[in-house]
Structure 1
Amino acid sequence: MQALIVRGGWDGHHPVASTELFVPFLREHGYEVRIEESPAVYADAGVMAGIDLIVQCVTMSEITAEQVAGLRDAVAAGTGLTGWHGGIADSYRASSDYLQLVGGQFVTHPSKAPEFVVGGEEDNYLEYRVSVTAAGHAHPVTAGLADFSLTTEQYWVLHDDLCDVLATTTHPAQPWQPWHRPVTSPVVWTRRWGEGRIVVTTPGHSLDVLEDASVRTIIERGMLWASRTPIET
């Protein structure tokens, strides 16, 4: 099995340290791991034809039309794609073809009440609940997991109906916010694209969140499930 890690973009999401957390897991499950520091490899059809799983951690950044076409073609042909947080849900904002592939886009993470805002990234750390859906209870990526709480960025995500949502979170309508009713966003979803499988997990802003037992379990199971030849978890 061949796994390709593509990492880069905004350093605030720790693309090197976060992906290194999962390299031992991949190797223990029989993958040979190749690491690239940009999406340029996506345009190499010869390389991509041999990849069983892509683990992407590239926040924002840019991608060329040839690179995103190579990624889409590889997934359609059976290569799995997975990632977490901004490394997959806030990548390549200018590419509508990429956004269609992954099916969801980060738009914001609501902040604390104004009186608690001090100007740091902690302003956006909220305690929130992750709720496993009925579909999630039956899916290999999230089966057997109970609902759990996190204190970190709570992603507000735009998504479409091709996503199979395995877990959600609800943004409350707070007095200091402009929306008027609670809004539910997906936290974990899967997606079929041609012969390929995609898994997106929105928590993962920092290493401690990735090391949360539930988050890590979801990401690791997602890697195995998304692979060209899915591995039983």
Structure 2
Amino acid sequence: MTARRALVVRGGWHGHRPVEATEIFIPFLERNGFEVRVEESNEVYADDDAMAATDLIVQSVTMSEISSEAFRGLRSAVERGVGLAGWHGGIADSYRGNSDYLHLIGGQFATHPSKHPDQCAGDESDNFLCYTVDLTDLGRSHEIMAGLEDFTLRTEQYWVLHDDLIDVLATTTHPVQPYHPWHRSITSPAVWTRRWGEGRIFVATPGHSLDVLRDINVRTIIQRGMLWASRTESE
């Protein structure tokens, strides 16, 4: 049996520790039969031969930019059946200036609400809230979430703008607070999948820090999501 090939593309904003974060999951991919190639630039997406030889792309590139050639290569690869998976800003807050990328992913980071101003210290912990990730009915029946229950995290709670072509496996709800300007609670997707052409896309919004990625629920969801997204011999 020919090994499946995973392409890990990492970079962008260093605050999400793209190197250390992806290193958490590379051994898992190797144990599951993937040959793993790591690239520090998304220009690899413009390499037709590299894309044709890839079964799964794991992207961890927060913000940053993507050339038109690289984006076309990425989108074409997914349409032909290459899986695309990622977490947090590495996939849901990539390439803000490229609306076609946002269209491909189906959900885009908008904000992560903060604590009460009196509790803010002026660092990243200002946005660390205790919140619940709630499985949807679809999620409870999906292989990615099998056996899991609703769980709680203390980290950035992503508020995501999204369309209706995503299949939401878990959500999180932003409550109304007197120190925020919105007037109704907002429920955002926290884990979703998307079919695009022949390809599969997987997104999990938790993952701001290495300790969150090591949380048993988050780690399990991401590991299963990568396997789900990958092109298989039967496809």
TM-score interval, smaller chain = over 0.9
1:154-184 CA-to-partner distances (Å, cap 9, x unmatched) read 0000000110000000000000000001000
Instruction: Name the structure 2 match of 1:172.
Output: 175
Instruction: Name the structure 1 match of 2:87.
Output: 84
Instruction: Name the structure 2 match of 1:107.
Output: 110
| 1:133/1:166 contact within 8 Å kept | yes
Instruction: Name the structure 2 match of 1:195.
Output: 198
| 1:83/1:219 contact within 8 Å kept | yes
Instruction: Name the structure 2 match of 1:36.
Output: 39
1:193-215 CA-to-partner distances (Å, cap 9, x unmatched) read 00000000000000000000000
Runs of 4 or more off by more than 2 Å in structure 1?
Answer: none
Structure 2 length as normaliser, TM-score?
0.97
Q: 1:176 is matched by which residue type in structure 2?
A: Y
Instruction: Name the structure 2 match of 1:75.
Output: 78
Tell me the distance in 2 between the aligned counterparts of 1:9 and 1:165: 26
Q: 2:62 is matched by which residue type in structure 1?
A: T
Q: 1:189 is matched by which residue type in structure 2?
A: W
Instruction: Name the structure 1 match of 2:230.
Output: 227
1:20-69 CA-to-partner distances (Å, cap 9, x unmatched) read 00010000000000000010000011110110000000000000111111
How far the C-alpha of 1:230 sits from its partner, in A, is 7.8
Percent of aligned pairs sharing the same letter: 68
Number of aligned pairs? Answer: 231
Structure 1 position 22 matched with structure 2 position 25: yes
Tell me the distance in 2 between the aligned counterparts of 1:204 and 1:112: 19
Structure 1 position 55 matched with structure 2 position 58: yes
Root-mean-square deviation (CA, aligned residues, Å) is 0.9
| Matched residue SS, 1:48 | helix
Instruction: Name the structure 1 match of 2:128.
Output: 125
The answer for unaligned runs of 5 or more in structure 1 is none
How far the C-alpha of 1:124 sits from its partner, in A, is 0.2
| Matched residue SS, 2:152 | strand
| 1:101/1:193 contact within 8 Å kept | yes
Tell me the distance in 1 between the aligned counterparts of 2:50 and 2:126: 42
Q: 1:89 is matched by which residue type in structure 2?
A: A
| 1:224/1:230 contact within 8 Å kept | no
How far the C-alpha of 1:82 sits from its partner, in A, is 0.3
Tell me the distance in 1 between the aligned counterparts of 2:233 and 2:63: 29
Tell me the distance in 2 between the aligned counterparts of 1:148 and 1:33: 31
Structure 1 length as normaliser, TM-score?
0.98
